[in-house]
Amino acid sequence: RPQPLLKPLVDGPQSAVVTGPAGEEIFCDEHGRVRVKFNWDRYNPSNQDSSCWIRVAQAWAGTGFGNLAIPRVGQEVIVDFLNGDPDQPIIMGRTYHQENRTPGSLPGTKTQMTIRSKTYKGSGFNELKFDDATGKEQVYSTRRRT
């Protein structure tokens, strides 16, 4: 009798890009899950059907409370797999890189912790900034409408 085939495991996190329908900036389901296209997937289209729905880890999550930040279409994300199970992907974080720049000019703003949103289908934003420069500590709150 042949040995049963073991379920393959995914070895470590993988990079992917959040996908959605053409022209859509935010695409999620009622649970805040998104779809992605993995960087190794060269053949399938980058659209709303690129993957299964994938959960997004949040800094704080409870029943009816916590924080919620949905990754936007086009953002690079890091996807890991619970216990290496390819059927249990979870987005663990997002990354900055050459095309996806930080909300400040580093290293000049290295003492600032910034939370900046982006207006849906616009160029405005809301921003909360903490400046921890010695002797100049401040909290800023601002918005820009377009």
Share of the chain above pLDDT 90, in %: 86
Q: What is the largest CA-CA distance in the chain?
A: 74
The tally of domains found in the chain comes to 2
In a domain, 45, yes or no: yes
d(CA 57, CA 68) in angstroms, rounded, equals: 9
pLDDT at 2 over 90: no
In a domain, 3, yes or no: no
Judgement on whether residues 44 and 113 belong to the same structural domain of the protein: no
Judgement on whether residues 60 and 122 belong to the same structural domain of the protein: no
How many other CB atoms are there within 10 angstroms of residue 51's CB atom? 18
- pLDDT band with cut points at 50, 70 and 90 for residue 5: confident
Return the CATH number at 38.
2.40.50.230
In a domain, 5, yes or no: no
Judgement on whether residues 47 and 67 belong to the same structural domain of the protein: yes
Judgement on whether residues 84 and 129 belong to the same structural domain of the protein: no
**What is the domain extent for residue 80?**
12-98
Question: pTM value?
Answer: 0.87
Judgement on whether residues 23 and 66 belong to the same structural domain of the protein: yes
d(CA 106, CA 109) in angstroms, rounded, equals: 5
**Is residue 109 a contact partner of residue 136, using CB atoms and an 8 Å limit?**
no
- Share the mean pLDDT of the chain: 94
For residue 145, what are its two tokens?
A: 């409408």
Share of the chain above pLDDT 70, in %: 100
Q: Return the ∠ at Cα 136 (arms to 131 and 141), rounded to 5°.
A: 40
What tens digit of pLDDT does each residue of 9-36 get?
A: 999 999 999 999 999 999 999 999 999 9
In a domain, 132, yes or no: yes
Establish how many alpha carbons lie within 13 A of residue 95's alpha carbon, considering only the half-sphere containing its beta carbon.
14
State the pLDDT at residue 57.
Answer: 98
